Structure 1
Amino acid sequence: MTPILWRRGRAGDEAALAVLGGATFLAAFAHDHPGRALIDHIRAAHGEEHYRAALADPAQTVIIGETPLGAPVAYAVMTPPDLPVPVDPQADIELKRIYLLSGWQGGGNGDALMEQVVDVARAAGKKRLLLAVYTANDRARRFYARHGFAEIGETTFMVGDAPFRDLVYARPL
C-alpha cells in the first residue's frame, strides 16, 4: 500500500478537500441516503468555500493525508464543539470529520490519522475529544470504540432535507 504523508491543511488546499470530502461522504453514505439530499449536502458542506473558510479559521484544524505524489486520500477536521451535550469550550474539541478513501482504509492508516488528531488536541491543551457518528455506521462505531470513545448522547444530522440519528461520543485525552 502506498504510504500516507500527514500534514496540516493550509490555504490552497480547499479544492483538494472539496473533492476528497465529497468523494468520501458519497462513498460512506450512498447506500442509505436519498440521492438528492446527499448531493445537496455535499454541495453545501463540502464545497471549496466551506473548506476555504475552515482553513482560514484559527479555531479549526485540518489534517490532510497525501500519497508521496501529493494526491489527497485522507483528512480530519477539528472544530470548537457544536454538539447537544454539555461541553467546556476550554477543555473540549470536536472531531467534525475523519475520512479515508477506501483504498487506504485498513493497514493502520485510520489509527495513524486518529493519532494525528489526538496529538493536535493535546497540543492545544484539550482534555476531551467529541464526535458524532451515524447510528448505522457500524464500522466507524467499532473504530471509535477501539480508540476509547463512549456514547454520551445523540443528535440529529441533516443531509439536505433528510434527518439522520447520530450518536455523540467522547473520549478523554
Structure 2
Amino acid sequence: MTPITWRRAAVDDAPALSILGGATFLTSFAHDHPGKALTTHIRTAHGEAYYAAALADPAQTVLIGETPLGAAVGYAMITPPDLPIATDPARDVELKRIYLLHGWQGGGHGDAIMALVVEEAQRRGARRLLLAVYPQNDRARRFYARHGFGEIGALTFMVGDVPFRDLIYARTL
C-alpha cells in the first residue's frame, strides 16, 4: 500500500481539501443520501471557502495526508466543540472530520491519523475528544469503538435540506 505522509495543512491546501472533502463525503454517503441534498451539502460544507476559513482560524487544525507524489488522500479536522451537549471548551475538542479515500483505508492509515489527532488534542490540553458519526456507518463506528470512543448522545445533522440523525461519541484522553 502506498505510504501516507501526514502534516498540518496550510491555507494554500484549501483547494485540495475541498476536492478531497467532497469526494470522501460523496463516496461515504451517496448510497443513502438524496442526490440534490448531497450536492448542496458538498458545495457549501466542503467548498474551498469553507476550508480556507477553517485553515485561517487558529482554533482549528487540519491534518492532511499525502502520497509521496503530493496527492491528498486523507484528512482530519480538529475544532472547538460544536455539539448539542454540555462541553467545556477548555477540556473538550471535537474531531469534526476524519476521512481517507477508499484506496487508502486499512493498512494502518486510520490508526496513524487517529494517533495524530489524539496527540493534537492532548497538545491543546484536552481531556475529552468528541465526534459525531452516522449510525449506519458501521465501519466508522467499529473504528471509533476500537479507539476507545463510546456513545454519549445524538444530534440532527443537515445534509442540504434533509435531516439525518448522528450519534455523538466521546473518548477520555
TM-score range, shorter chain: over 0.9
1:95 aligns to what? 95
How big is the alpha-carbon RMSD for the aligned residues of Structure 1 and Structure 2? 0.4
Structure 1 residue 51 and structure 2 residue 51: aligned? Answer: yes
The unaligned stretches of length 5 or more in structure 1 are: none
For 1:76-99, what per-residue CA distance to the aligned partner results, in whole angstroms no more than 9, with x for missing partners? 001100101110000000000000
> Given residue 160 of structure 1, which amino acid in structure 2 is its aligned partner?
G
Structure 1 residue 5 and structure 2 residue 5: aligned? Answer: yes
Structure 1 residue 84 and structure 2 residue 80: aligned? Answer: no
Q: Is the partner of 2:12 in helix, strand or coil?
A: coil
Aligned-residue identity in percent: 72
2:170 aligns to what? 170
Q: Is the partner of 1:158 in helix, strand or coil?
A: strand
Provide the TM-score with structure 1 as the length reference: 0.99
For 1:15-58, what per-residue CA distance to the aligned partner results, in whole angstroms no more than 9, with x for missing partners? 00000000000000000000000000000000000000000000
Structure 2 counterparts to residues 60-71 of structure 1, below 5 A: 60-71=60-71
Structure 1 residue 104 and structure 2 residue 127: aligned? Answer: no
> Given residue 49 of structure 1, which amino acid in structure 2 is its aligned partner?
A
For 1:112-154, what per-residue CA distance to the aligned partner results, in whole angstroms no more than 9, with x for missing partners? 0100100000011111000000011111000000000000000
Q: Is the partner of 1:152 in helix, strand or coil?
A: strand
Question: How far, CA to CA, are the matches of 1:158 and 1:99 in structure 2?
Answer: 19
> Given residue 146 of structure 1, which amino acid in structure 2 is its aligned partner?
R
Q: Is the partner of 1:13 in helix, strand or coil?
A: helix
> Given residue 74 of structure 2, which amino acid in structure 1 is its aligned partner?
A
2:25 aligns to what? 25
**Cα deviation, residue 13, structure 1:** 0.3
- Which ranges of 4 or more aligned residues in structure 1 deviate by more than 4 Å? none
Question: How far, CA to CA, are the matches of 2:71 and 2:111 in structure 1?
Answer: 20
Q: Is the partner of 2:23 in helix, strand or coil?
A: helix
Aligned length: 173
> Given residue 161 of structure 2, which amino acid in structure 1 is its aligned partner?
D
> Given residue 111 of structure 1, which amino acid in structure 2 is its aligned partner?
D
1:161 aligns to what? 161
Question: How far, CA to CA, are the matches of 2:138 and 2:164 in structure 1?
Answer: 15
> Given residue 3 of structure 1, which amino acid in structure 2 is its aligned partner?
P
Question: How far, CA to CA, are the matches of 2:153 and 2:86 in structure 1?
Answer: 10
1:124 aligns to what? 124
Q: Is the partner of 1:95 in helix, strand or coil?
A: strand
Question: How far, CA to CA, are the matches of 1:141 and 1:4 in structure 2?
Answer: 23
The unaligned stretches of length 5 or more in structure 2 are: none
**Cα deviation, residue 59, structure 1:** 0.4
> Given residue 122 of structure 1, which amino acid in structure 2 is its aligned partner?
Q
